[in-house]
Amino acid sequence: MAKLSQTYTSGDVRGWDIDSVGPTGSFPARLVDVADYYDQDVPKYGEPGVIEQKNLTRFLFAYSANGQTHLCQTYDMTMSCGERSALYKILRDMTGTPPKFTGDYDYCDEIGQTCQITVASKTSKKGKVYNYIASVAPLMEELADKAPKVSEVTIPGGRRTALDEDSENDPFNRTEGSLAGGS
Q: How many domains does the chain have?
A: 1
Mean pLDDT (whole number) for 48-62: 93
- Please give the mean pLDDT across all residues of the chain: 83
Residue 141 has pLDDT above 70, yes or no: yes
- ∠ CA 63-143-87, nearest 5°, is 55
Is position 39 within any domain? yes
Residue 60 has pLDDT above 70, yes or no: yes
Of 92, 94, 88, the residue nearest 32 (C-alpha):
94
Is position 18 within any domain? no
Q: List pLDDT tens digits, range 88-102.
A: 999 999 989 998 888
pLDDT at 69: 94
* Distance in angstroms (rounded) separating the CA atoms of residues 183 and 42: 36
Is position 178 within any domain? no
* Distance in angstroms (rounded) separating the CA atoms of residues 71 and 101: 27
- Confidence band for 13, pLDDT divided at 50, 70 and 90: low
Of 31, 16, 26, 27, the residue nearest 172 (C-alpha):
31
Is position 19 within any domain? no
Mean pLDDT (whole number) for 61-65: 95
Tell me which residue range forms the domain holding 92. 25-153
- HSE at residue 131, side-chain half, CA atoms within 13 A, is 25
| Start-to-end CA span in the chain (Å) | 66
Of 52, 111, 50, 103, the residue nearest 81 (C-alpha):
103
pTM: 0.81
pLDDT at 148: 94
* Distance in angstroms (rounded) separating the CA atoms of residues 113 and 118: 16
Beta strands in 16-173 (DSSP E): 25-43, 51-65, 68-73, 77-78, 114-123, 129-137
